[in-house]
Structure 1
Amino acid sequence: MSSSAIQKRSGGPSQLANLEQQLKENLMATTENFLELTKLADVTNETSLLNSMAIVQQEHLEIQARTLAIVRACEKLTEITAQLKTILVVNDFSQINKSVDELNVEAAKEAKSLWTRTEKHDENVINMLKSGGC
């Protein structure tokens, strides 16, 4: 199904644009927080070994806050994924109906062909019996 067809049925481009914007924001937040966590975890910086207890506590709180921000962003990404899946499933019924209709047409053709072959077979059997071929 094309994205324009999904947009028409999902509340339009504004809903998809909103989800896309949320997706970008959450990915950026996750990336930024992860990079900052790696900076805080850098032990090659000699001044970090000599920091006072207050700075160590501050860094610990910052690590907790950034970790929480990453978890929230990942939860939001999971929600966005679920919303997109719902939009796709709900709006793909036309394609499902089209496939079912095509299968019904094929089944009807097959049934007609089978019926025709059965009638011809019956006629052949009747003709054989009439002609005394058995």
Structure 2
Amino acid sequence: MSQPQRAISQTKEALLKTYHKKLKDDVRSMFDNFTEIIRLARVEEDSQIAKMTQTEQDQYEMQVRASNIGRAGESLMKLVSDLKQFLVLNDFPSVNESITTNTQLYKNIQSECDKTLMNLKDEMSVELFELEDEYYSSSYK
């Protein structure tokens, strides 16, 4: 493998590792925040903080954690978009195979259309010949 190809391969590998790390971090963030929201939902009996104050604090923390879950979800959606773009831009064999398949399909369709048109032309030619013959041999002309 030549140096430029090896460098490109290492770049792709590094990018994929970055994507994998980002995936793990976002999923872990979602899990941790969800776990903390569940923990906050538990009712605690005795506390030195007033019930209303504790409730407000818990509500605020839940909102922040829900926002963190939303942010991680958006990050995962961006990651999916980046992976799709990476696949489209770097999967040349698949793209070439798709182009070749489509080209062959359209050539087959073109061939069938050409055959149909030729048959139609031949039939029309025969019918036109018969019509001309009938017209010229008619006594009404």
Normalising by structure 2, we get a TM-score of: 0.60
Partner residue in 1 for 2:39: 39
After TM superposition, give the deviation of residue 30 of structure 1 in Å: 0.3
Q: Which amino acid aligns with 1:51?
A: Q
2:118 is the counterpart of 1:116: yes
In structure 2, runs of 5+ residues without a counterpart are 1-7
The structure with the largest alpha-carbon Rg is 2
Q: 1:59 to 1:51 in 2, by over 3 A?
A: farther
After TM superposition, give the deviation of residue 126 of structure 1 in Å: 6.9
After TM superposition, give the deviation of residue 32 of structure 1 in Å: 1.2
Q: 1:131 to 1:28 in 2, by over 3 A?
A: same
In structure 1, runs of 5+ residues without a counterpart are 1-7
The 1-side partners of 2:77 and 2:34 are apart by 18
Q: 1:38 to 1:118 in 2, by over 3 A?
A: same
Q: 1:63 to 1:51 in 2, by over 3 A?
A: farther
Q: Which amino acid aligns with 1:73?
A: A
After TM superposition, give the deviation of residue 129 of structure 1 in Å: 6.9
Partner residue in 2 for 1:101: 103
Listed as ranges, the matches of 1:1-134 within 5 Å are 12-43=12-43, 45-47=44-46, 50-53=47-50, 56=54, 59=58, 62-90=61-89, 91=91, 93-94=95-96, 96-122=98-124, 124-125=126-127, 128=130
CA RMSD of aligned residues (A): 3.7
The 1-side partners of 2:65 and 2:132 are apart by 92
After TM superposition, give the deviation of residue 40 of structure 1 in Å: 1.2
The 2-side partners of 1:42 and 1:35 are apart by 11
